[in-house]
């Protein structure tokens, strides 16, 4: 049976300054993966991969319509932005989020490339569903604590 939510996939922390964040996490002892880019979103990321999930730092590298809300949010300090859930399919998750009243954005197709000393990686793709108002809720929750 296919499930809309199977568990935790990864957590995302928005950072203001991806270079400084990468250096800080390396200094903390994390094995930081080469930088990836989400061209459509205007963001860059670094992953710290564990056995079954991973931790992602995400920074804005180009202003786009897709990151306007995140840019505003970063002005207030950023921080935990998303908890990505594992699913059997973005459309399945979208339907479940909608049925739960979470007002999801339509599933988004992303192409991700990473860069290392050896050059660019082969692009990989993902189809993602985003419930709303995740960023606003997390930002207001962390600001009140």
Q: Alpha helix locations (H) across 15-133?
A: 18-27, 68-75, 90-99
> How is 103-132 classified by DSSP, letter by letter?
-PEEEEEEEEEEEETTEEPPPEEEEEEE-T
- Euclidean distance between CA atoms 64 and 43, whole angstroms: 9
Query: What pLDDT digit, counting tens, does each position of 106-145 carry?
Result: 787 765 555 444 544 554 545 556 565 443 333 222 233 3
Query: What pLDDT digit, counting tens, does each position of 27-75 carry?
Result: 999 999 999 888 888 999 999 988 888 899 999 999 999 899 899 989 9
The reported pLDDT for the residue numbered 57 is 96
Evaluate whether the domain defined by 7-143 bears CATH number 3.10.180.10: yes
- Euclidean distance between CA atoms 77 and 117, whole angstroms: 31
Q: Domain locations in the chain?
A: 7-143
138 in Cβ contact with 80 (< 8 Å): yes
């Amino acid at each position: 049976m296919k499930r809309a939510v199977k568990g935790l996939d990864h957590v995302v922390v928005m950072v203001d300054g991806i270079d400084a964040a990468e250096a800080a996490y390396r200094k903390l002892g994390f094995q930081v993966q080469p930088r990836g880019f989400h061209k459509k979103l205007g963001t860059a990321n670094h992953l710290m991969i564990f056995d079954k999930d991973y931790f992602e730092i995400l920074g804005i590298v180009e202003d786009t319509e897709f990151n306007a809300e995140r840019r505003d949010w970063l002005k207030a300090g950023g921080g935990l932005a998303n908890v990505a859930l594992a699913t059997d399919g973005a459309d399945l998750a979208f339907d479940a989020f909608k049925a739960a009243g979470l007002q999801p954005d339509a599933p988004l197709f992303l192409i991700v490339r990473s860069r290392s000393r050896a050059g660019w990686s082969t692009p990989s793709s993902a189809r993602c569903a985003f419930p709303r108002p995740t960023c606003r809720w997390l930002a207001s929750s962390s600001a009140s604590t």
